[in-house]
Amino acid sequence: MDGWSNERAAEMFPMVFEGFVVVLQVTAVSGVIAILLGLLVAISDQTAPFWLRRPVNWIMQFVRNTPLLVQVLFVWYATSLYINPEWTAFVVGSAVLGIHYASYTSESYRAGIEAIPKGQWEAATALSLPRHRVWLAIILPQMLRRSTAAVANWLIAMFKEVPTLFAIGVLEMLAMVDRYAGLNYTGYVEGYTIAGLLFLAASYPVAVATRRLEIRLAKSNF
């Protein structure tokens, strides 16, 4: 295997950066799914009838306790064979990743809901507030403030999991490195180094901001 080459690194950078843009796109789509679906699951856990809560909770437990790679491969081949073979790897991979992390964000939301003092619920009941008003004006604002930092940490973790979709052909950074190295029989060192630095450049500032948010919220009396 050849050593490091600045010329090769410069040649590879545009390809790897193109894959990095795909990583950001997958993260954006999956993040929306994880945030909204996780919130829906957490609210349904408090408001839905038992016959609906039970299967939803079971599904979330199953998703949370099985490997992401297995889920990606299973759903990819299942959709290709039985549902719609025209769905792209980007669509399937983003959906699976979003649902996988929705199982985690829902737990963060649930913890935020359970942390709200019971007196808040009792006061709302005493005032005979409509249920939707209780959630929109009292519960959700407090829950979101308590769970935002935890959800942000899950999104950072999700961002770093996007290369898993390489297994089904999503052309993210590792796929680009593999494509270049396969054609030129070299470039793994430069490619993986560039990919790692791009991940670090994107995730570290967000991680620092999330940590500061955690500290700020911990000091809040709300």
| Residue given tokens 């759903």 in the structure block | 75
pLDDT in tens, 11-26: 899 999 999 999 999 9
The pLDDT value recorded for residue 25 is 95
124, part of any domain: yes
| Residue given tokens 């396969």 in the structure block | 182
Provide the token pair at 52: 């609906």
Asked if the model's pLDDT at residue 221 lies above 60, the reply is no
Q: Which domain holds residue 46?
A: 6-219
Query: Residue 65's domain is classified under what CATH number?
Result: 1.10.3720.10
* 183-189 mean pLDDT: 85
Provide the token pair at 137: 């004006």
pLDDT in tens, 126-169: 777 777 778 887 888 888 888 888 899 999 999 999 999 989 98
> Cα(164)–Cα(98) distance, rounded to whole angstroms?
13
CA distances to 12, 64, 71, 184, 202 from 16, rounded to whole Å, are: 6, 30, 26, 15, 14
Measured in whole angstroms, the distance separating CA 128 from the mean position of its chain's CA atoms is: 37
27, part of any domain: yes
Q: Is the backbone of residue 84 left (phi > 0), alpha (psi -120 to 50) or beta? A: beta
Provide the token pair at 162: 């996007």
141, part of any domain: yes
84, part of any domain: yes
pLDDT in tens, 112-124: 888 888 887 777 7
122, part of any domain: yes
Domain count, the chain: 1
Neighbours of 111 (CB within 10 A): 14
- pTM for this model (two decimals): 0.88
The residues near 152 (Cβ < 8 Å, ≥ 6 apart) are 206, 210, 213
1, part of any domain: no
Per the CB < 8 A criterion, the answer to whether 8 and 187 are in contact is yes
Asked if the model's pLDDT at residue 64 lies above 70, the reply is yes
168, part of any domain: yes
